[in-house]
């Protein structure tokens, strides 16, 4: 089965890595989608330029079931949180991203309305975990069907989403699906998450799907901008919520931005975040594991930074 990846055109922060800063009025930052061409299998390989440090950090939420009634009474019900934990573990093992999890929660207004999210909750989790992006999704199908009206087939269909952890915008979505015929039921003694589960037919297919999902997350997020939140301001001195854990180093140049207060309301009533404005350049001066200090480059009229401003890597 071929899968199609949709990278939405509203990746408004991608072009922040380009261009010089204006010494006068702030200017809007144009949007550019990450250019990562899929290979012959339809997967998106990680471009070498995208794999460079600093490391992006993601927070992974639970993957709820769209139809929980597809799980029989007495069967394992922990798929949403186990999927979040397994995906986060996989991301950290691969080493190209940093991962954290809020495995007991998901950001959707309702499971039926996904990918519509509670934006405030999503942004709060991203800020608490010092993450740039949020990964979540929904099990669209976990039921059984009859193939050719004879053979029982277990369906595993997951739709995954990547959100901007600063604006809450949906950046990318993709569906992953597997089918399993015969012997897909687990013995009562085999618990999902165990070694025996991984060696079972259902466990093997589940982990195969999760591996493909993880590859997609890695190849997509590593080509999105690196960013940091300003958490303290002292004149031109800025304290950021990322440090050497993400590979940040003294001497790196960053772009200081501020999101316009007014957003845009679509025809469906959805409010989109305002446009980020480039207001200054800053140089990283010192780095600790979980935070760092940058200094705004002097200008004819140096702008005043604010807590909540965002710094992007060039």
Q: What is the DSSP string of 45-57?
A: PPPGGGGPSSPPE
Q: Where residue 45 falls among pLDDT bands split at 50, 70, 90?
A: very low
pLDDT of residue 39: 39
The two tokens of residue 25 are 């009025």
| SS3 at position 213 | helix
Statement: residue 11 has pLDDT above 60: no
Statement: residue 23 has pLDDT above 70: no
Which letter, b or e, does each residue of 206-241 get, where b requires 16 or more Cβ atoms within 10 Å of its Cβ?
Answer: beebbebbbbbbbbbbbbbbbbbbbbebeebebbbb
pLDDT of residue 200: 85
Residue-number span of the structural domain to which 264 is assigned? 227-313
Give the span between the Cα atoms of 103 and 86, in whole angstroms.
Answer: 10
For 146, which DSSP code? E
Q: Is 175 found in the same domain as 120?
A: yes
Give the span between the Cα atoms of 272 and 262, in whole angstroms.
Answer: 9
Q: Is 267 found in the same domain as 243?
A: yes
Statement: residue 26 has pLDDT above 50: no
In a domain, 238, yes or no: yes
Q: Is 66 found in the same domain as 101?
A: yes
CA proximity to 104, closest of 143, 132, 66, 136:
136
Q: Is 97 found in the same domain as 183?
A: yes
- How many CB atoms within 10 Å of residue 282? 26
More confident residue, 76 or 99: 99
| 233-279: pLDDT as tens digits | 999 999 999 999 999 999 999 999 988 655 555 555 555 556 778 88
Among 194, 221, 248, the domain boundary falls at 221
Helix (H) or strand (E) holding 129: none
Q: Where are the alpha helices (DSSP H) in the chain?
A: 79-94, 119-128, 195-199, 201-221
Residue 121 has phi, psi (to 5 degrees) of: -65, -45
Give the span between the Cα atoms of 312 and 229, in whole angstroms.
Answer: 9
Q: Is 143 found in the same domain as 251?
A: no
CATH of the domain at 180: 3.40.50.10610
The two tokens of residue 185 are 């039921």
Q: Is 170 found in the same domain as 211?
A: yes
pLDDT of residue 8: 42
CATH of the domain at 279: 2.40.10.410
- How many CB atoms within 10 Å of residue 31? 16
pLDDT of residue 232: 96
More confident residue, 23 or 125: 125
Statement: residue 32 has pLDDT above 70: no
- Across 109-169, where does the E strand assignment appear? 133-141, 144-147, 151-164
Mean pLDDT across the chain: 80
Region 17-24 average pLDDT: 35
- How many CB atoms within 10 Å of residue 23? 14
Q: Is 199 found in the same domain as 51?
A: yes
Domains in the chain: how many in total?
A: 2
| 207-230: pLDDT as tens digits | 999 999 999 999 999 999 999 999
Residues 6+ apart with CB under 8 A from 265: 271, 272
Helix (H) or strand (E) holding 171: strand 170-181
Residue 242 has phi, psi (to 5 degrees) of: -130, 155
| SS3 at position 55 | coil
The two tokens of residue 278 are 């480039």
Q: Where residue 37 falls among pLDDT bands split at 50, 70, 90?
A: very low
Region 17-36 average pLDDT: 36
- Cα dist. 269→107, 173, 265 in Å? 19, 21, 6
The two tokens of residue 35 are 């250019």
Give the span between the Cα atoms of 93 and 173, in whole angstroms.
Answer: 23
| 149-179: pLDDT as tens digits | 555 677 899 999 999 999 999 999 999 999 8
Residues 6+ apart with CB under 8 A from 76: 186, 191, 192
């Amino acid at each position: 089965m071929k899968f199609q990846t949709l990278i939405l055109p509203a990746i408004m922060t991608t072009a922040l890595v380009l261009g010089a800063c204006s010494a006068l009025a702030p200017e809007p930052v144009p949007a550019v989608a990450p250019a990562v061409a899929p290979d012959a299998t339809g997967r998106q390989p990680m471009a070498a330029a995208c794999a460079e440090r600093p490391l992006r950090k993601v927070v992974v939420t639970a993957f709820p079931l769209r139809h929980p009634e597809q799980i029989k009474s007495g069967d394992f019900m922990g798929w949403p949180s186990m999927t979040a934990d397994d995906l986060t573990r996989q991301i950290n093992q691969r080493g190209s991203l940093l991962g954290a999890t809020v495995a007991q929660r998901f950001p959707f207004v309702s499971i039926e309305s996904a990918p519509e999210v509670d934006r405030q909750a999503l942004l709060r989790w991203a800020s608490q975990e010092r993450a740039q992006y949020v990964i979540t999704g929904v099990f669209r199908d976990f039921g059984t069907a009859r193939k050719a009206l004879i053979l029982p087939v277990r369906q595993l269909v997951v739709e995954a989403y990547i959100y901007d952890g600063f604006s809450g915008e949906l950046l990318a979505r993709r569906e992953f699906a597997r089918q399993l015929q015969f012997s897909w039921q687990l013995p009562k003694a085999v618990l999902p998450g165990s070694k025996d589960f991984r060696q079972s037919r259902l466990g093997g297919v589940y982990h195969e799907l999760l591996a493909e999902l993880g590859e997609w997350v890695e190849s997509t997020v590593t080509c999105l901008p690196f960013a940091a939140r300003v958490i303290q301001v002292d004149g031109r001195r800025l304290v950021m919520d990322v440090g050497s854990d993400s590979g940040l180093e003294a001497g790196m140049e960053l772009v200081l931005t501020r999101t316009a207060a007014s957003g845009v309301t679509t025809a469906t009533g959805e409010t989109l975040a305002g446009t980020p404005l480039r207001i200054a350049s800053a140089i990283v001066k010192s780095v600790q594991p979980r935070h760092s200090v940058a200094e705004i480059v002097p200008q004819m009229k140096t702008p005043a930074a604010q807590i909540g401003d965002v710094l992007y890597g060039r």
